[in-house]
Structure 1
Amino acid sequence: METFERARLEAYFARIATQFTPDEQTASFLITHLLPERPAFVQAVAAMTRLTAVLPKPKSIHPDAKREVEQTVPVDTLTRDLFTEADDALDYLESRAAGETICLLDVGGYFAHTLAEVHSRFTGRIAGVIEDTENGHRRYEDLDKLPCPVISVARSPLKDPEDFLVGQSVVFSTEAVMRGRGDILHGRPALVIGFGKLGSSIARLLQAKGVQVTVFDLDPVRRTQALSQGFTVARDRETALTGAGLVLCATGAISLRGEDFSHLRNGAYVATVTSSEDELDLAGLPDVYTRTVVGDHVTRYRTTGHYFYLVNGGNAVNFIHGASVGPFIFLVQAEILAAIRMLTRGDLAPGIHEVPVPNREAIATTWLSYFNR
């Protein structure tokens, strides 16, 4: 990022922080993709809260961004196990913010599993959670009872540009990896598993490139939407896998279980839009498959009479090339900052909430004044 671009971004976040100054300053824990442009957002969170620690998503850490953030904020190691057991989660939170009021800024529902117990036992107060992804939104939504407010920006209209551009980056990176091995998209039927915002974006982009696209989704409503947009809709996963030369997984849940991989046609590529632990049950793959790295970011899984290629180890394919969506990501980040103020007011009931429309409009207006020049 050029110096003037960084200065403009910092000015934008300073303006947002002024618009949504919290009623009180709480402590915070920030889970995030630590990408090249992310330090400016981290700085903004630190201006609005006492940022206790940054926990970068393991497969999306840019070394320069990490070094910059570490100069001002502790950067801790994030694992699913850290928040799987309540005792471990409590020990960690207490070590950083014992007795304080804290906001948990999440990407993917990391805090969801132990939230109720942690909320009841923490020596301070958990003001609430802010969740950025559809996968995480569903994890909080699936809890029997939320002990505190959860503000989700996952379904915000301000996230629509990001979702569309993430879809573009997924298609770009998938094609680039295939071309690196002498393969191309054309003539290779594609299967998109999951027809949510990301999956539908990917399907449309592939279709625009002249690729034959089939969609599989468990939700009958989404299947009707896919049909109305001209896609072939698979009746069952097994048949769909058998005919696909490229499989893109975009459910945020397990798209392929161990027994599914044997139905892939020989030479099929498999890529995902999120981490392998969320999309693929690789542990369930039969032990008869051998794994061989056969190119940049490509692993061949092979057994007698069958083989397929896994891209980027099953992790988000677009992170190979930085996963950039340009300045549109700053819309959602600003909405997260607005959500911080909502939590600090302390007047939200337990449950899932959204940022009000007037706040989103204010964010969009500010964003346009900085980035629509």
Structure 2
Amino acid sequence: MEQFEVARLDAYFARIAATFAPTARPASFLITHLLPERPSFVRGIGTATDLRVVLPKPKSISPAARRVIEKTTQCDTLTRDMFEDTDTAVEYVESRAAGQDVVLCDVGGYFSPALDALCDRFSGRILGVVEDTENGHRRYADRDKLPCPVVSVARSPLKDPEDYLVGQSVVFSTEALMRTRGDILQGRHALVIGFGKLGSSIARLLHAKGVRVVVHDIDPVRRTQALSQGFDVARDRDAALNEAGVVLCATGSLSLRGEDFATLRNGAYVGTVTSSEDELDLAALPQVYERTPDGDHITRYKTTGHYFYLLNNGNAVNFLHGASVGPFIFLVQAEILAAIRMLTRGDLGHGMHEVAPADRATIAGIWLDYFNRH
């Protein structure tokens, strides 16, 4: 980013942090995609809270951004395992914020497995969680009982522009990788698994490129939505996998099991919008497949009579090209700061919550002041 762009972004987050200043300044843990523009957001979190540690998502770390953050804030290595074991999770949070009021800023439900133990055994107090993604939203919402408030921005209308543009970046990166092998999208049927915000965006963008799109979703309501928008909906999932030349997985949970890969047609490309551990059961893929690199970020899986191509090792394909959605991401990041203030008030019950419409309108107004160029 140019220096003037960084200065404008810092000014924007300073104003957001001042507008949504918490009633008390809690400690915080921040899980985030550490992309090139992210330091300004991190500084905003550091203004509103006592930011104890940044935990970058492993597959989306800009080395330059990390160097900037590490000048002022501890950066630790994030794994699913560190919060799967409750003893390890409690010990880790104690090591960073013993005795403090803490807000956990999450991207993908990482804190969910240990949340009960953290609320019960941590020497301080967990004020709550702010969750950014649909996948994480479901991880918290599907629990029988939550031990603290969880404020989700995953379904906010301020996230709609981001979701649309993420879908666009997924299609761009998929085709860019295919072109390195001399292939293009046109002439191939595409199967989009999952017709939520991202999946529907991907389907529309593929259709706009003249690609025939088939949709599969386990939710019958979403299947009717896909039909109403002019897409074919798979009656038989295996048949759809066998016909598709491109398969894009956008469920945020398990899209393809180990046995599903044998159903893919020869030469199919498989890509995802999130991490391989969420979308693809690669560990269960039969060991008979020989894996060989086929250009940058493409792996050819081959066994007798069958082969397919996996993009970016099954991780979010758009992160190969920066996953940029422009300044619209700053709307959602501002809403995270508004959610932190909600948690510090102490008046939320245990369960799922959203930022108030009036606060979203305030955020949108501030954003327009800084990023509407006309």
Q: Determine the C-alpha separation between the residues in 1 that align with 2:237 and 2:292.
A: 26
Query: What is the 5 A alignment of 1:246-285?
Result: 246-285=246-285
SS at the partner of 1:115?
helix
Partner of 1:214: 214
Q: Distance in 2 between matches of 1:285 and 1:10?
A: 46
In structure 2, give the amino acid aligned to 1:49. T
1:308 alignment partner in structure 2: 308
* Corresponding letter in the other structure for 2:110: Y
1:252 match: secondary structure = coil
Q: Which residue of 2 aligns with 1:67?
A: 67
Q: What letter corresponds to residue 62 of structure 1 in structure 2?
A: S
2:147 counterpart residue number: 147
Q: Aligned-pair distance for 1:257?
A: 0.1
SS in 2 for 1:113: helix
One-letter amino acid of the structure 2 residue matched with residue 57 of structure 1: K
Q: What is the TM-score with the length of structure 1 in the denominator? A: 1.00
Give secondary structure in 2 for the equivalent of 1:103.
Answer: strand
CA distance in 2 between counterparts of 1:60 and 1:372 reads: 28
Whichever residue aligns with residue 361 of structure 2, its letter is E
Residue 101 of structure 1 is matched in structure 2 by: 101
Q: Distance in 2 between matches of 1:181 and 1:242?
A: 21
Aligned partner of 1:126 in structure 2 is 126
Matching of residue 350 in structure 1 with residue 369 in structure 2:
no
Instruction: Give CA-to-partner distance per residue, 1:49-101, whole Å, 9 cap, x none.
Output: 00000000000000000000000000000000000010000010000001111
Aligned to 1:241: 241
SS of the counterpart of 1:130?
Answer: strand
RMSD of aligned alpha carbons: 0.4
Tell me the secondary structure at the aligned position of residue 82 of structure 1: helix
Deviations, residues 281-334 of structure 1 (Å, cap 9, x unaligned): 001100100100011100000000000000000000000000000000000000
What's the offset of the Cα at 1:238?
Answer: 0.5
Q: Deviations over 1:114-136 (max 9, x none)?
A: 11122111110000000000000
Distance 1:289 1:43 in 2: 46
CA shift for structure 1 position 236: 2.4
Q: Structure 1, residues 12-68: CA drift from partner, whole Å, max 9, x if none?
A: 111111110110000000000000000000000000000000000000000000000
> Paired residue for 1:194?
194
After TM superposition, give the deviation of residue 144 of structure 1 in Å.
1.1
Task: Give the TM-score taking structure 2 as reference length.
Answer: 0.99
- Partners of 2:76 and 2:346 in 1: CA distance: 28
Residue 18 of structure 1 corresponds to: 18
Aligned-partner Cα distance in 2 for 1:133–1:236: 29
Stretch deviating more after TM superposition (157-166 or 229-238):
229-238
Q: Taking every aligned residue pair, what percent have the same amino acid on both sides? A: 73
Amino acid at match of 2:101: T
4+ runs of 1 displaced by more than 4 Å?
Answer: none
State the alpha-carbon separation in 1 of the partners of residues 266 and 363 from structure 2. 48
Shift of residue 360, structure 1, vs aligned partner: 0.1
- Aligned equivalents of 1:158 and 1:363: distance in 2? 9
Distance in 2, matches of 1:117 and 1:93, equals 11
Alignment of 1:49-64 (within 5 A): 49-64=49-64
